Structure 1
Amino acid sequence: MPRPRLRDETKPDTAGLLKILWRTLPELWRSSPLLVTLLGLMALIGGVIPAVTLLISKWAVDGVSEVAAGGETNLALLAGAWAGAALLGQLTGVARQVLQGYAADNFTVQTSRRLMDKMNDLPGLEVLEDPRFHDDIQILQMGAPRRPLNLTATILGLLATAVSLLSVAGVLLTVGWWVPLVVVLGMIPLTLTQMRLYELGWSMTIQNTQASRELNYFQKAALNHGYAKEIRLYGLMPYLTHEYTERTLDYQRTMRGVRNKQLIGVLPAQILALAVTAGVFAYAVWQAQLGNLTPGAVVLVIGALSQVRGQLQELADSLGVGSEHLHWFGKYYEFLDAVPSVAVPAEPLPLPQRFDLTLDGVTFGYQGHAPVIENLSLHIPQGQTVAIVGENGAGKSTLVKLLLRFYDPSQGRILLGGAGEQVDLRDVDPQAWRSQVAAVFQDYARFEWDVRQNVLLGQEEDAPRLQYAADASGLTAMLPRLESGMNTRIGQAYGGVDLSGGQWQKLVTARALYRDARVLILDEPTAALDPRSEAEVFRTFAELSRGRTAVLVTHRLGSVRMADRIIVMNAGRITEDGTHEELLAAGGEYAELWALQARQYSESRDWLEREPDPASLLSSD
């Protein structure tokens, strides 16, 4: 199955944008049916009012002229009608603004929810770890709070403007059948030019997404608490400031060129539109001098020309801005329609009774790269504790991702179950499988919530189970040192406390234990810990893994003797398989790594015990 792509290098043409609009309108209506219906009605009323006002103004001017000539006209009625139309326009505008805000809020929530639901429907990591994803998801994240709102306003504005343009153009028919046709045709080039320039602006947005993301990264690094120590220690701020400034100036030069092109490109069309307007106005004055038009008709032409020009300008702006919003929704639908490589089967098979894990000729490589794991076969019986060791880059963490079905093998199978009941992991629901697995990763998530939420991770609280997880992980012992115990907020960004590496380790272990899973995985969990904390974690792991299938991934061998079995990986292949004693006796790679790390620990201990003279450490010898 092909890997999903979020980025489509071809831009939608006009037909494509209309398809996107046709898909978006029902979603907008479904988000707030009553509000959208009322807003459409108000847009229609608001669109007709300018034409009605122009006609009333014409009748009023002609009425004044008639009264001046000795005739009779009910000027009070005309004045009242004009005021009533103006008031109705004001009330409609205010009500539309209020209701539009409500409808846009609902549409925004619906759009953001669908993005989050789609993210939940991506069982694997292949999209999230694709570099192209980061540009596209930045566009989606930045646009989600405002694009639905803006598109709602744009669609309703377009409706009102189109109705107003048609009604005002219709009023110009009183001057001559050809007048509205000439006025509209003379302004169409300006409308099309402005739309093309908006297209250019969107194209530059897409092309510069990575550049702007990198630019923002330098600013983030300069202001982020997590980088503060290194920045101050190594005097990094001048470099960050220089890079941010240079990249910003380069980005601004690019965008300045776009803006200049927009300004220059629109001038010829502006001149043509102005010439057409001036010509029609001159014609109306000439006809009035000949007695073919009344003073009211001249006033009508002046007002109508101004309104048509303004409405076409507004129409062009709305179409241009609307096309930009539709481009965003195009990416939104690309994301919603993405078919993941790791997919939920149409008819998932039930989980087997036994949880033996079998890798059968598994090969896997990340997109565009050589295989990380090649033709790997491995059987882990239910209840066995297996340590997978090897140097960095051996493929250990990739193996864990495959076991968790964050990726599917490009070749081979991963089977679950005992003899006679084995099922391919691709044939079971990923969520059903993962509900039976608890894992502690090296790069575990540090949510800036309170301790309780960090353990529960959205699950309902079960007090006895929470107490067990806290006791077994050592979390209970550290709670008295926290101001509010389980309710202590973590993270300085929200006024909470920072936890040490060891404290975090206890918390994420409690998180894993709260699930009470049948399979326990530790993926390099002690990489950032000192040897004493590391030994404590492994002791806890040994106690907790009894009766469970347990997989420990590490490149540090200090505490792997507690495993029933040790697998040595090198360059994506299994090179050794046995107990600690068997592998030492074999004298292979494991024995070599064991001797090397044991010597390092021994030398460190001897060095500390000798307590050397600090001056000797500074000698040139």
Structure 2
Amino acid sequence: MLILYLAGINGSLRAISVTNLTATSIYELEHSILAKTSKLSTALLEDPATKTIREKAKRLSLIDLLDQWTGVTIHFITLIALIVVLSCYGFYILAMFILVVQILQLYLIRWMSRKVEAISANQTSSVRMINYIVDLLVSRNTLPEVRMYGMSSYLVTTMKELFNGNFKQMHRKVILSETLSFSQSIIMILLNGLTIAILAITLGGRGQSAGLFVLLLQISSQIFIVIPALTRMYSDLTKSRVRFNEYSAYLELEEQVQRDPEDSIRNTDAMQITIQQLNYRYATNAQDTLKNINMTLKPGERVAFVGENGSGKSTLIKLIAGLYHPTAGNIQWFNGEQEVLAHNVTKGVRVVFQDFTKLHRPIRENIAMGNIAAMYDDSRLLAAMRKAEADSYGVALDTLVGPQFGGIDLSGGQWQRLAIARAYLNNGSLTIFDEPTAALDPYAEQQVFETFMKLGEQQTSIIVTHRLYMSKFVDRIFLFEHGEIVESGTHEELMKLDGKYRGMFNRQSSLYG
């Protein structure tokens, strides 16, 4: 009764331990991957190959790896101990034969498990695409357009083709794997029968007792119980080791240089930026996105980047903000006489991107992203909202936004005002507006531009815009075309030049009457 009672307690304690270990392993895996992600450059994170490596790394289960290592170790020690006992009774050749067969079996299992796991790893990209298509079919942002244009059937068919392609690849390997496993099972059954026959014939010929035969029969039976368990556990361990190598490959990616602790003080002096012979090419592109960029932005200067979509304006913005690093050439940043190191530039930049972050969290957190230290400084948060006119739709700081989590729904313009308020909260030495008014009405657009102009009185400011009437009021304009600066100067200078800028300006002016 006592032994049974203790066995029950042991089972409960093991269940609790395994639960805790499982939760801990999930947390540690996610934490290590996220910590590594935070240290990688923006350009590297945007590379599809990096995304695939990260998805592969997430397939690992640390608790399974621990459990498999433990299981293989225990079963292997047990097998060796039983073989040693069998050898002690004089069955050396039989023991060695069983051991050799098991080693060959493990070798084949290892080869096949790696093949199967390689297929699974190679399907990571297609699985990511399947998940993306599913998101298109159910996402609140894409569902209306998918339904309106009748895209559901096509997307489901595409998803099915990807799934079937993956299934066929895996199915062939699984059939081969199971055929091999079945063959090995047959060999083990024959080997088990052969072992029993050898024991019976040998002990009978020697005139040994029936008790010794029963003892050795029990030992051989245990051997052939341990062997399948060891084989199965080793197969799982082989797959986990492949996944562990993929996990390690992600953790070994080259990291971006981190900020120096002594440089943590924010400098709000207007920034000077010098760019010389800059070229930039995305990892997936065959040609440079930016070519031969040369410019110097003076402290406190307000400039506009204009040009057609795809001309390289937003890419240059990310380079200036320190998010990307040039493929060739260099950028230098200065606060007064002091040069700012590239990995510290982002501390001194406040920016409103065209594709800004929509944080489905309280209003407070959406704005405080611009300066986490002001998270609970209500007066500063409300002041930023007023400047961006984000207080016009009557919401409190702790109001949750995002209907998928039970929060309120916001229009595109309301979201954009929150993003602009976020930028106002950040006291930087460089202000960047990358098409910040795309979702605003004309009145709100004018207000944002006026605020941009006010900020430009004290800070170096860059606005990326297609609305050329805004460029009339900045200090300098840079016109981009096919990744190059084709014209630069003030509005008056470019109009006198009678080139591409004037043609674009006149075409837009005619649209507005």
| TM-score greater than 0.5 by the shorter chain | yes
Tell me, yes or no, if the aligned pair for 2:321 and 2:346 is still in contact at 8 Å. yes
Which amino acid is 1:163 matched to?
I
Aligned match for 1:397, one of 314, 317, 342: 314
Corresponding residue number in structure 2 for 1:150: 64
Q: Give the structure 2 partner of residue 99 of structure 1.
A: 17
Shift of 1:249: 2.0
2:434 to 514, 523, 526: 523
Counterparts of 1:584-599 in structure 2 under 5 Å? Answer: 584-599=495-510
1:274 alignment partner, one of 189, 193, 196: 189
Out of 385, 399, 410, the residue aligned to residue 499 of structure 1 is 410
Query: Aligned to 1:477, what secondary structure does the other structure show?
Result: coil
Deviation, structure 1 residue 262: 0.6
Aligned to 1:337: 252
Secondary structure, counterpart of 2:271 in structure 1: coil
Shift of 1:348: 8.9
Question: Aligned to 1:134, what secondary structure does the other structure show?
Answer: helix
1:453 aligns with 2:368: no
Of stretches 445-454 and 579-588 in structure 1, the one that deviates more from structure 2 is 579-588
**1:357-396 Cα distance to aligned partner (Å, 9 max, x none):** 1112212222242122222111111111111111112110
For 1:91 and 1:288, how far apart are their aligned partners in 2? 43
Q: CA deviation at 1:564?
A: 2.3
What are the Cα deviations for residues 418-470 of structure 1, in whole angstroms up to 9, with x where unaligned? 78x363x6xx162x321111111011111211111111127132333222211
Match of 1:363 among 262, 279, 286: 279
Q: After superposition, where does 1:55-454 map in structure 2 within 5 Å?
A: 95-122=13-40, 124-143=41-60, 147-173=61-87, 175-178=89-92, 179-287=94-202, 289-290=204-205, 292-340=207-255, 342-344=256-258, 355-367=271-283, 368-417=285-334, 421=337, 423=339, 428=341, 430=343, 432-454=344-366
SS at match of 2:42: coil
**Residue 577 of structure 1 aligns with which residue?**
488
Change (3 A) 1:347 1:471: closer
- Greater displacement, 245-254 / 182-191: 182-191
| Aligned CA distance change for structure 1 residues 92 and 309 (closer, same or farther; 3 Å) | farther
CA deviations over 1:234-256 (Å, ceiling 9, x no partner): 11111122222232222212211
1:475 alignment partner AA: A
156 and 237 in structure 1: CA distance in 2 versus 1, 3 angstrom threshold: same
CA distance in 2, matches of 1:296, 1:553: 91
Please give the secondary structure, in 2, of the residue aligned with 1:127: helix
Native 8 Å contact 2:312 2:480 kept in 1? yes
SS at match of 2:76: helix
- How many Å separate the matches in 2 of 1:418 and 1:185? 72
Q: Deviations over 1:21-78 (max 9, x none)?
A: xxxxxxxxxxxxxxxxxxxxxxxxxxxxxxxxxxxxxxxxxxxxxxxxxxxxxxxxxx
Query: d(CA) in 2 for partners of 1:174 and 1:295?
Result: 18
- Report deviation, 1:100: 3.9
Deviation at 1:211, TM superposition (A): 2.1
For residues 517-556 of structure 1, the aligned pairs below 5 Å read 517-556=428-467
Report the counterpart of residue 474 of structure 1 in structure 2.
389
1:400-432 alpha-carbon deviations (Å, 9 max, x no partner)? 11101222222222112278x363x6xx162x3
1:181 aligned partner, one-letter code: M
Structure 2: runs of 5+ lacking an equivalent: none
Q: Which amino acid aligns with 1:148?
A: L
**Offset at 1:108?**
3.5
Q: State the Cα deviation string for residues 480-514 of structure 1 (Å, max 9, x = none).
A: 1x4xx222222222112221111011100111111
Determine if contact 2:311/2:481 at 8 Å carries over to the other structure: yes
Q: TM-score, normalised by structure 1?
A: 0.75
Q: Aligned partners of 2:145, 2:48: CA distance in 1, in Å?
A: 26
Q: Supply the distance in 2 between the matched residues of 1:490 and 1:263 (Cα, whole angstroms).
A: 51
In 2, the alpha carbon distance for the partners of 1:512 and 1:142 equals 37
Q: Distance in 1 between matches of 2:6 and 2:201?
A: 35
Deviates more, 1:87-96 or 1:215-224: 87-96
**Distance in 1 separating the partners of 2:11 and 2:209:** 32
| Offset, 1:535 | 2.7
- Whether contact under 8 Å (2:349, 2:429) holds in the other structure is yes
For 1:194, what is the secondary structure of its paired residue?
helix
3-state SS of the aligned residue for 1:566? strand
- Give the secondary structure class of the aligned counterpart of 1:326: helix
Q: Distance in 1 between matches of 2:34 and 2:131?
A: 24
1:459 alignment partner AA:
I
Q: In 2, Cα distance between the equivalents of 1:446 and 1:354?
A: 29
Contact 1:169–1:180 (Cα < 8 Å) also in 2? yes
Moved more, 513-522 or 207-216: 207-216
CA separation of 1:470/1:567 partners in 2, compared to 1, >3 Å: closer, same or farther? Answer: same
Query: Aligned partner of 2:333: which letter?
Result: L
Quote the Cα distance in structure 1 between the aligned partners of 2:176 and 2:390: 62
Letter in 2 for 1:160: I
Give the letter for the 2:236 counterpart. V
In structure 1, distance between residues paired with 2:407 and 2:259:
42
- Structure 1 stretches of 5 or more lacking a match? 1-79, 603-621
- CA distance 1:389–1:134, shift in 2 (3 Å): same
Question: Post-superposition shift, 1:103?
Answer: 3.5
Distance 1:182 1:117 in 2: 50
**Greater Rg by CA:** 1
Cα deviation, residue 212, structure 1: 2.1
- Contact preservation (8 Å) 1:193, 1:266: no
Counterparts in 2 of 1:232 and 1:106: CA distance versus 1, 3 Å: closer
TM-score (norm 2): 0.90
1:265 to partner: Cα distance: 2.3
Q: 1:175 and 1:97 mapped to 2: Cα distance?
A: 40
CA RMSD after TM alignment: 2.8
What secondary structure, in the 3-state scheme, does the structure 2 residue paired with 1:187 have?
A: helix
